[in-house]
Amino acid sequence: MLKNFVKEKLRAGKPSIGTWVEMNNPDVSEQLSVLGFDWLVFDVEHGLFTMPDVQRMMQPMNHSLNCLPFVRVPINEPVYFKWALDMGAYGVVVPWVNSKEDATKAVRASKYPPEGIRGCGPRRASRYYSEISDYVKSANEEILVIVMIESQQALDNLDEILSVKGVDAAFIGPDDLSLNLGIFQEKQHSKFKTSLASVVDACKKHGIAPGMHCNDKNINDAISQGFQFCALNDDDTFLTMGAKACLQGVRGWVPGYSG
């Protein structure tokens, strides 16, 4: 039977920390899954994945019982939800949700009838149909549906979006949101700060977990502000940060060709 401890944490008002994966190599998901993250999001919107690639990335995570796979689908279309969930994702992150209709479409694509339109073919999710009955009974309750708030339109329609039954979390991508607000990466701008506060307040009103993509410098502040579903950096950033830190620690090393 499907059991989603991340959803339990969010319902209890606790933070849940994961990270974003964009590099298409199963060594990446295997290593990240044993470090203490609650979840990994495989980014099919911007990452270097096809949907079959995502399944190969999920499979090494079987070594860890404490890190769950989620998928950011490329667009809000049911076929991508079916692929992601049938291959074993415990939830979906849905980009560009700007209206109640968008949120309703995402929820219905994530759930079996009568609550939704998801077709029955949970190959890997049901251990290749050996546990299909238990999976189908529990999936609607356990699958996490996370809508992304990325535009002024989404902010304007927050109450309607979050009123949709089945939406579990509202997630802010700071770069996308600030870009669409015309203040790209101006995280101290009053308009940006007001937007963050409005999402947290609306989520509290509707009993939904707010989330945001964070870095190592602001994640504690985000949690203090009320954000729960928090992504800490991503695999590309971890690689860059680690390499830079190691290089900077080499005595006498000067970057660049010396002739």
Catalytic residues: 46
For strand 169-172 and strand 229-234, is the pairing parallel, antiparallel, or unpaired?
A: unpaired
DSSP 3-state of 187:
coil
Are the C-beta atoms of 65 and 57 separated by less than 8 Å? no
Token match 């999402």: residue? 199
Give the span between the Cα atoms of 131 and 203, in whole angstroms: 34
The pair of three-digit structure tokens given for residue 248, joined into one six-digit string: 């900077």
Token match 């079916």: residue? 82
Q: What are phi and psi of 233, to 5 degrees?
A: 55, -150
For strand 209-214 and strand 229-234, is the pairing parallel, antiparallel, or unpaired?
A: parallel
Token match 């890997």: residue? 124
Are the C-beta atoms of 183 and 173 separated by less than 8 Å? no
Collect all residues with Cβ–Cβ distance below 8 Å to 96 and sequence separation of at least 6. 75, 76, 102, 148, 150, 151
Q: What are phi and psi of 92, to 5 degrees?
A: -130, 140
For residue 187, which amino acid is it?
A: K
Collect all residues with Cβ–Cβ distance below 8 Å to 251 and sequence separation of at least 6. none
